Structure 1
């Protein structure tokens, strides 16, 4: 509040305290507004150190979607539990924007086989170069997106695969001898590098459907639940390997991170209970049972019909709250004790919310592609609308 003399209370505080202890904790939109207040604030909040520190202070929130756009769920402290991040340019067509990956507040999106990297907070967007398709019978997809902690570079893991191989893997049939090709592309470069795939396994391929089963990032590695094991990609060594997991959990499992550790979410055969197992020792690959959620016993839970063909999935909002996609079109908000807190979204056909299994941690981080394409009027307007 300004004093009667026109001087604000911030004038009584050291500049470093305002920047490093106050502004760093504000939402990104407020920081961007504060840059217009003082030249010193603009300079202090524009350094790489501030931007990374500010990013670490922001909550990591689950991304959900429906036919109208992409959203993030902000939990219960505010009245507005859902914030729209992106709106499809034309929600009345089947050509919706697909979110393939998220890292450091940056999203990789696909629209009509074209890929884009964007920061919805700063509303910056650029086209993303990708490996060429080898033939009409092959396709490409993003299977991972990460920041290399040794250099700070953002990198994309691509896969080029036979459409026949993708179908065989999806249905769990025997896979042909034609293996997928994996590439790593540093964001800002147009020269992808081929990564050797050394694991020969019927169920070992990271999912080509990254918008449905994205990898979980933990300990500088990407992790996918593949069959009865976990496929791991070491982002530093750029090698693949496989981690064991409890075989008794079956193949209906999904990965997430709880309390900084890898966790497995699995459903019982009757689809009534949802169990969570946590990786207690990463190096020894030992897992321990942590939680059981009885979906049919949740307080005030509306009646429902079990779908035995759907894999229930879970996302952590914060230390106490969860989202559970019980079946298609049914997204539940509950706490860690299994108390039902509400139904997310509307029951209107086609507009229900679904989990993407990706997370958005707001940031002001930029990448070289943004600056390189700002002067290109043709690529300036993406085929979707960022509204965060």
Structure 2
């Protein structure tokens, strides 16, 4: 509280102490409010060092969405609700915004065939044609693929080998000069899709990873080249890639839609995998009990190293631990609202995109 002269206790503290030891621990929205209080706070919280230090203290949480907006899990073991981070402009139409990618607190969204980058924390957005952070320069870049009509049709109907290779492009956010790179290896499973709502790439070791067929396609973001990585072939092709605390993981859904097996890449260079744990939905003591007659392929996302979210059926999100113990149902204010678990993650950041400057 200010005294009679209007001076607060913060005015007696060094700027570095306020910025680096107090403001850096606040939630993102509170940091943005503090920027309007004091000029030194605004400048101190706008540096790259502060933004990255603050970002690293934020939890990386699963993204959930429905026709009304985009949400994330609250991240608290005691709070089973979800928090809306972005509201759709018109919730009464069928044009739901689709989240195609997430990186460093930024989202690539699509609505009515238009793509744009959005920061839901600062409410900024940039329109783009069609996303990863280059660790060597700090630049955010977009990777997209362009098919001819003939190639698109052949891939869609499951043809073994498209007759023409697609073109891949890399664009630095804030630049209008995309670079064309070529996917040179023909695969019977087709090509990785950058606009991948169901199976987005996982960022690990400065590379993007897609689970395609019985292999993993890898894009080196520095060399801008593609290659293939091996994985346990006994898991079949019904797998999903996960980021498990900095390690690459695979979630395999069994054909009975009951068991989910998690494997972790133990040695990246040697490409050796190890079984981690199994979640048995039929043994889970959930309230209300799970309807195991529903053969809906479950989807899983990690909250932290011990807790998971599982979409067992449409609009039923389970909060459990890695031992399969039920911790609660994830709920929303509107019990009739239907949610689905995306495979993207949101870790808040207060970075300003280049096109917002000036």
**Does residue 232 in structure 1 map to residue 215 in structure 2?**
no
In structure 2, the residue matched to 1:377 is none
When structure 1 is superposed on structure 2, of 75-84 and 152-161 the one drifting more is: 75-84
State how far apart, in whole Å, the 2-side matches of 1:209 and 1:347 are: 31
Q: 1:66 to 1:190 in 2, by over 3 A?
A: same
Distance 1:246 1:170, change over 3 A: farther
The match for 1:192 is 178
* Larger mean Cα displacement after TM superposition, 354-363 or 157-166: 157-166
Change (3 A) 1:208 1:257: closer
Q: Would you say 1:93 and 2:68 are equivalent positions?
A: no
CA contact (8 A) 2:102 2:346 kept: yes
Spell out the pairing of 1:16-35 with structure 2 (5 A cutoff).
Answer: 16-35=16-35
Which of 304, 313, 318 is the equivalent residue of 1:327?
Answer: 313
For the 8 Å contact 1:346–1:352, the answer to whether it is kept is no
Query: Structure 1: 5+ residue runs without aligned partners?
Result: 131-141, 373-388
Distance 1:298 1:2, change over 3 A: farther
Q: Does 1:254 find its partner at 2:240?
A: yes
Any idea what the Cα deviations from partners look like across 1:210-250, whole Å, max 9, x if unmatched? 12211000000000000001000000000000000000001
Q: Secondary structure at the match of 2:22?
A: helix
Deviations for 1:26-52, whole angstroms, at most 9, x for unmatched residues? 111111111222222122111122112
Specify the alignment match of 1:69 in structure 2: 69
- Classify 1:77/1:326 alpha carbon distance in 2 versus 1 (closer, same or farther; 3 Å): closer
CA displacement, residues 322-364 of structure 1 (integer Å, 9 cap, x when unaligned): 1112233332111122111222347989832111111111111
In the alignment, which of 291, 304, 310 is matched to residue 304 of structure 1? 291
Q: Are 1:14 and 2:14 an aligned pair?
A: yes
Given the two structures, how large is their TM-score scaled by the length of structure 1?
0.85
Shift of the 338–355 alpha-carbon distance from structure 1 to 2, 3 Å rule, reads same
> How far does the alpha carbon of each residue in 1:173-205 deviate from its partner, in whole angstroms, 9 at most, with x for none?
424222221110111112211111012101151
CA-based RMSD: 2.4
1:68 to partner: Cα distance: 1.2
**Contact 1:126/1:369 (<8 A) preserved:** yes
1:3 positional shift: 6.7
TM-score for the superposition, normalised by structure 2? 0.92
Corresponding residue for residue 84 of structure 1: 84
> Contact (CA 8 Å) 2:99, 2:108: kept in 1 or not?
yes
Contact 1:96 1:111 in 2 (8 A): yes
Write the deviation string for residues 133-166 of structure 1: whole angstroms up to 9, x where unpaired.
xxxxxxxxx4xx0111111111000111245644
2: CA distance between counterparts of 1:50 and 1:351? 38
Cα drift, residue 9 of structure 1: 4.0
Q: Structure 1: how far apart are the matches of 2:246 and 2:81?
A: 24
Gap change, CA 1:352 and 1:287, over 3 Å in 2: same
Aligned pairs for 1:65-214 (under 5 A) are 65-77=65-77, 79=79, 81-128=81-128, 130=129, 142=130, 145-162=131-148, 165-166=151-152, 168-169=154-155, 172-207=158-193, 209-214=195-200
- Please give the per-residue CA displacement for 1:109-133, whole angstroms capped at 9, x wherever unaligned: 11111111111111111222x3xxx
Q: CA offsets per residue over residues 55-96 of structure 1, 9 Å max, x none?
A: 111111111101111111123345463111111212222212
Give the Cα separation in 1 of the matches to 2:155 and 2:75. Answer: 36
Residue 370 (str. 1) matches residue 356 (str. 2): yes
Instruction: Report what 1:40 is aligned to.
Output: 40
What residue number does 2:345 align with?
A: 359
Structure 2: which 5+ residue stretches go unaligned?
A: none
Aligned residues: 357
Aligned to 1:378: none
Q: Distance in 1 between matches of 2:313 and 2:149?
A: 27
Structure 1 pair 18–365 and aligned structure 2 pair: CA distance change class (3 A): same
